[in-house]
């Protein structure tokens, strides 16, 4: 009789709908969640926990991403389909615009210094670049240029926090943490950066450009510098050269930061 009941009950069981287990694990806080989204450099995985987005990476095998995530973050992550539409919209906008905007980003796994570097980097507008030294000086650590590079290389949310907009002081693009090295110039070109123009300036060791009408000098990609007509544009190889010529630093792109 017992065997008959067990057989009957077993026959009543049905497999759980697809996605129930991952959603339950995420909803109970036992795992973080991730989704796949599109970007200029191809499909990416975006993971998030209770305090915001925690990681963004080039889409790979799901098992590889989940394994690497747990190793790096110390907690499991599961792919889910049930994500609030408003959150998906904010994620897509952040990826498209290259800045967090209203999207919460969780940087709690990083050191205070690394967080400061990434928050400052997030302020760089689309279509503009800044050197590593600019980030270092802006956060009050002018001697930490190499450490800034290391922090950017460990950026857990590239595209959302635009480390592709930070370049070497000699105009070279430097390394990039998302995919291959070609992605960095690809992203900059997509944003409208004149890469050939930057390379030409770098070859001549020009770091700043100024306007002879306003007597203000800027980073070459600053929106104010781009509005300067060519006949009024003046080139400078250093801050000292610009200031010696009677030019003052742009208050928007801040090529010179007080110590």
**Cα 105 versus chain centre, distance:** 11
What is the model's pLDDT at position 26?
54
Listed residue (257, 233, 258, 256) closest to 243, CA to CA: 256
Q: For 20-62, how does the pLDDT look when each residue is reduced to its tens digit (9 = 90+)?
A: 445 555 554 578 999 999 999 999 999 999 999 999 999 989 9
Pick the CATH number of 111-156+163-203 from 3.40.50.300, 1.10.10.10, 1.10.150.120, 2.60.40.10: 1.10.10.10
What is the model's pLDDT at position 173?
79
- What's the mean pLDDT when you consider all of the chain? 89
Q: For 63-95, how does the pLDDT look when each residue is reduced to its tens digit (9 = 90+)?
A: 999 999 999 999 999 999 878 899 999 999 999
Contacts (Cβ under 8 Å, ≥6 apart) of 101? 90, 93, 94
Catalytic residue annotation: 163
- Does domain 206-259 correspond to CATH entry 3.40.10.10? yes
Where in the sequence of the chain do the CATH 1.10.10.10 domains occur? 111-156+163-203
């Amino acid at each position: 009789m017992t065997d008959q009941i067990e057989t009957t009950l077993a026959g009543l069981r049905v497999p759980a709908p697809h996605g129930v287990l991952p959603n339950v694990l995420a909803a109970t806080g036992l795992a973080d969640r991730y989704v796949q989204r599109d970007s200029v450099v191809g499909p990416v995985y975006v993971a998030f926990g209770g305090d915001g987005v925690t990681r963004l990476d080039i889409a790979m095998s799901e098992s590889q991403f989940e394994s690497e995530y747990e190793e790096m973050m110390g907690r499991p992550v599961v792919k889910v389909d049930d994500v609030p539409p408003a959150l998906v919209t904010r994620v897509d906008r952040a990826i498209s615009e290259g800045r967090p905007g209203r999207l919460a980003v969780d940087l709690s796994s990083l050191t205070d210094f690394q967080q400061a570097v990434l928050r400052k980097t997030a302020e760089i507008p689309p279509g503009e670049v800044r050197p590593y030294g600019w980030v270092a000086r802006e956060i009050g650590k002018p001697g930490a240029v190499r450490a800034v590079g290391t922090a950017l290389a460990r950026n857990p949310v590239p595209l959302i926090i635009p480390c592709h907009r930070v370049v070497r002081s000699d105009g070279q693009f430097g390394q990039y943490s998302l995919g291959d090295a070609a992605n960095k110039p690809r992203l900059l070109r997509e944003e409208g950066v004149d890469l050939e123009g930057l390379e030409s300036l770098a070859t001549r060791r020009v770091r700043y450009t100024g306007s002879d009408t306003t007597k203000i000098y800027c980073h070459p990609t600053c929106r104010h510098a781009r509005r300067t007509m060519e006949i009024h544009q003046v080139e400078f190889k250093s801050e000292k050269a610009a200031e010696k010529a009677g030019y003052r630093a742009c208050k928007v792109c801040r090529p010179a930061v007080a110590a």
